[in-house]
Amino acid sequence: MTRATVDVSRSSRVVTLRVSAVIEETADARTLVFDVPAAAAERFDFRPGQFLTVRIPSERGEPVARCYSLANSPFTGEPPQVTVKRTPGGYGSNWLCDNITVGDTLDVLPPQGAFTPASLDTDLLLWAAGSGITPVISILRSALARGTGRVVLFYANREQDSVIFADALRDLVARYPGRITVAHWLESLQGLPSAAQLAEFAAPYPSFESFVCGPGPFMSAVTEALSGTGWPRERITTEVFVSLSGDPFAVPEPLDPADSEDAARVEVELDGTVHALSWPRSRTLVDVMLADGLDVPYSCREGECGSCACTVVDGAVAMPGSTILDQEDIDAGYTLACQARPSTDRVRIRF
């Protein structure tokens, strides 16, 4: 297959994966199964609901990176796999669906994302529309394989032929009777679900944790329905993907020693270890962590994905307006490490 020429300079976090299988899920959706090199196996341990960032070969003169959710469970022994559904006019999804075959390789960043339950023993009310099923089925499969709670799925599609994982869902219902309920909603038969209809569906499950993924209007309708019935905000988790505009695969620019003349001190708690760093006020926290050799979680470095969300435990930071964090998140101390710069001389951050 003819490949586009891409810049060979890239971040040390990038891993090249071989595609071991391509599965046709529907006429517009493909699942790509990856072989992970033994040396990178630990870096590809993932939590249910997380995603990979994939570099799409491009001749358009600019890097193209897209985030695709992992559809399998990390607990069933399968290699990582992402499901890609064509987006009308979308370069990345169409390129992958049209070009990738077994044996091809793709550059990816290790798994990221916070769309994952704190406990798989919790009763879960899952909401998906279209390709939003991808992270949701990872959570569903994992909860059934490792958890003890009940799982209820509301899955909306335009028509029967567009239902991704239809056979897999039937198999799971047969394998776990009494633990899983799947409700399909087809726009071709039932129209678009209203907030009132969604609220009625949720009514029997007031203590469940809700996870929502799909097109913006669908997620808005679900959150409106849940909020209107008094569902606590902390029990509603949504997943939002955007087309990344930057190049998260590029080698970050080194820090300028002159920047250290105006720097704060930051203590960063990452994976249980505290790192003390000098934080120049002109650079982001991701910049200084990468310069120190830390394996900071990020997927875009543009404030577009939320992978680097962290908590300001002490001190203060400045951050541009964000579509990823709402005001309640910011008031609770959350910030994006790829956007944050220090406002005080000392800051403490927890990932």
What integer is the mean pLDDT of 129-158?
Answer: 97
pLDDT value of position 5: 34
**Which amino acid, one-letter code, is at 79?**
P
pLDDT value of position 8: 40
pLDDT value of position 2: 32
Highest mean pLDDT among 3-12, 229-238, 303-312: 229-238
Q: Is the pLDDT of residue 23 over 70?
A: yes
Percent of the chain beyond pLDDT 70? 95
Non-local (6+) Cβ contacts of 33 within 8 A are 19, 20, 21, 22, 23, 78, 79, 80, 81
Q: Is the pLDDT of residue 312 over 80?
A: yes
What integer is the mean pLDDT of 160-176?
Answer: 97
pLDDT value of position 6: 37
pLDDT value of position 93: 94
Q: How far is CA 167 from CA 17, 35, 78, 160, in A?
A: 27, 24, 18, 12
Tell me the pLDDT of the chain averaged across its residues. Answer: 90
Task: List, for residues 216-254, the tens digit of each pLDDT value.
Answer: 999 999 999 999 999 998 899 999 776 676 778 877 777
Task: List, for residues 96-106, the tens digit of each pLDDT value.
Answer: 999 999 999 99
pLDDT value of position 261: 81
pLDDT value of position 325: 84
pLDDT value of position 10: 54
More confident site: 279 or 253: 279
Q: Is the pLDDT of residue 82 over 90?
A: yes
- 3-state secondary structure at position 153: strand
Asked whether the CA dihedral 13, 14, 18, 23 is positive or negative, the reply is positive
Task: List, for residues 106-119, the tens digit of each pLDDT value.
Answer: 999 999 988 999 99
Structure confidence at residue 206 as a pLDDT band (50, 70, 90): very high
Query: What distance in Å separates the CA atoms of residue 153 and residue 48, rounded to the nearest whole number?
Result: 15
Kindly list the structural domains of the chain, giving each domain's residue range(s) and its CATH number in brackets, ordered by start. Answer: 15-110 (2.40.30.10), 124-239 (3.40.50.80), 257-350 (3.10.20.30)
Structure confidence at residue 11 as a pLDDT band (50, 70, 90): low
Non-local (6+) Cβ contacts of 276 within 8 A are 265, 266, 267
Cβ proximity of 340 and 284 under 8 Å: yes
- 3-23 b/e (C-beta count within 10 Å ≥ 16 → b): eeebeeebbebbbebebeebe
φ and ψ at 128, to 5 degrees? -145, 150
Structure confidence at residue 9 as a pLDDT band (50, 70, 90): very low
Burial class (CB in 10 A: 0-12, 13-18, 19+), 58: middle
Query: What distance in Å separates the CA atoms of residue 131 and residue 68, rounded to the nearest whole number?
Result: 10
Q: Is the pLDDT of residue 205 over 60?
A: yes
Query: What distance in Å separates the CA atoms of residue 26 and residue 11, rounded to the nearest whole number?
Result: 34
pTM attached to this predicted model:
0.83
φ and ψ at 196, to 5 degrees? -65, -40
What integer is the mean pLDDT of 158-165?
Answer: 97
What integer is the mean pLDDT of 153-173?
Answer: 97
Percent of the chain beyond pLDDT 90? 73
Q: Is the pLDDT of residue 301 over 90?
A: no
Task: List, for residues 336-351, the tens digit of each pLDDT value.
Answer: 999 999 999 999 999 9
